[in-house]
Structure formats: C-alpha cells, structure tokens
A and B are shown apart, each in its own frame.
Chain A
Amino acid sequence: MSQREARIRAALRTVDGERVRWLLGKKGALTVGENVFGETITEARYDFILQKAASIELERNMLLLEMETGPRTVHELHDSTGMLKHEIVRHIIALKRWRQIEQTGMKGQSPQYRAVPGRTVSVTEVS
C-alpha cells in the first residue's frame, strides 16, 4: 500500500469516525445554543476545534493502519509515516489509554506496538 493510498484510507476512517461525525452534526447546537454552563462557542472557535480534531484523528488513523500490518516501534512508525517522533509518542499514549493498541514486545530497547484486533477504529478521546 502506497503512502498516498494509506493516507486516503486514514482519511476515510477519520470522516467515518465517531468524533468527527459528532462534531460535524453538533455545529448548530454548539454555536447557536448554549452549553450547560451557558457558554456559546463562536464559529471561528468551532472551526478550530473541528480542524484540530480531524487532524489528530487523521494522524492516529495513519498510525493505526500501520500498526494493523504488524508490530511497530516508534522509529519504524516515524520512517513509514514521516511524522515527528514526539507526536507519535503522544498519539501512542492516547491510543493505549483507549485500548486501541497494545505493547507486544521489545525490539532492542524500543517497545513494539500493534493494533488490538477487533477494536473499533474510532478514537473518541478529546485532547
């Protein structure tokens, strides 16, 4: 699978994911109505939140796709996706918390992670 193909697949998962779909559907309620604290989110703020959420989801889905093919270390993920290592670590922490991935062993001094089979791909953590 080429890098471009992988990115499109990750984007497909992103737009299909719970987090992005929820945010897209709630625009009216968030920007026109008030939340329980009586606050209203501005359109600009909403756009920022949505873009940030979609961007994070896209990156996580790219990592998940890679880890579905086999156990990967952070270095390997960096080589295949081109993402920054500290960003990858941040995503791995979140994905582990949501049990989307698990540690399978060590490669040298680096832990290897793989996607947990049968788990949904949607990442619902709000960063």
Chain B
Amino acid sequence: MSSEVHKAHGAEKAVEGDEDFEPKIIVFCCNWCSYAGADLAGVSRLQMPPHFRVIRVMCSARVDPEFVLRAIQKGADGVLVAGCHPADCHYIGGNYRTRRRVALLKMLLQQFGYDPDRLRLEWISAGEGEKFQKTMIEFTDTVKELGPSPMRGGD
C-alpha cells in the first residue's frame, strides 16, 4: 500500500516537475525592427512569459550559426531569431542570409538528434508589438511541450 502511495506521489511529482519546467529561451532581435517590436510590446504592457532573454544585434544576419550552437551547448532550451520582414532589412539583404543560415542550422540540429522546432525564425517589424507577444507565447509553449534541452538532461 505504502509503495503504491509512494509510486503515485512520484508520478505526481513527475507531472509537477513537467509543469514547473521553466525553459531558457534566447531571443536574438535585430536593432531596427524586432527589438523595437519587443520594446513596443513592453511599453504596451502586453503580458508575456518571463522565460526569455533578448540579445540585441544590429541585424539578424549578425547571428552567426555559432551563436545558436553555443547557446544550445550552454543549455538553452530554445533559440528564436527575429528580424525585419523580407525586403525591409535596414542592410538591404541581411534577413535573406539569416533565412539561409537558419534553414541550415535546423538541418544540422535534426541530424544530431535535436528537435529543429527549438530553433525558430520570425519576421517582426517595429510596429508589431502584438506579434512579438504572440510569437513569444507560442514559442514558449512549443519549448515547454518539447521539454528540457537534451544538454540539460532532457530527451
């Protein structure tokens, strides 16, 4: 009887543990669009999960594939790269380069047994505070569903 109670308690704890899982998400925002969008979401007091850290870069193309892999290596559960909409890049074609790199990175992640959904690319303009909020909520939910990163002992 007591073992059953212990088992039930253990199962409950596991479920609790899953619910308590607080993902670590790194968000790379380009200075001209996405960072301003994130700022707008902030000043508009839009509610967002508190599990992400924003890193401002001058252009989404500044996000070297190495940055993403290093973040994963250090235990990030998800990485979001946010840039200007296609054809809106302040540096003309930076976001096209980013798109290529992210596609390659997704393929590499999949090859070494890491869910490619942990990496996401999104176009967010300076006026899209709500889109930033929506993206962050969706991405946090996705990462929560995926669970902790394999580098942190997850599957």
| A54 engages B108 (CB within 8 Å) | yes
Nearest chain B CB to A14's CB is how many angstroms away?
A: 7
| B104 engages A24 (CB within 8 Å) | yes
| A47 engages B103 (CB within 8 Å) | yes
Q: Does A94 contact B (CB under 8 A)?
A: no
| B112 engages A20 (CB within 8 Å) | no
In the complex, which of the residues B101, B104, B109 has the most CB atoms of chain A within 10 Å of its own CB atom?
Answer: B104
| A11 engages B108 (CB within 8 Å) | yes
Taken residue by residue from 31 to 47, chain A's Cβ proximity to chain B (1 for < 8 Å, 0 otherwise) reads as 00000000000000001
Which of B7-15, B65-73, B131-139 sits within the interface?
B65-73
| A55 engages B101 (CB within 8 Å) | no
| B104 engages A15 (CB within 8 Å) | yes
| Interface positions of A from 1 to 34, Cβ below 8 Å from B | 4-5, 7-8, 10-12, 14-16, 20, 24, 27
| Interface positions of B from 112 to 155, Cβ below 8 Å from A | 112-113, 150-151
Q: Does B100 contact A (CB under 8 A)?
A: yes
| A15 engages B151 (CB within 8 Å) | no
| A90→B111 CA distance, assembly (Å) | 19
The residue on A at minimum CB distance from B104 is: A54
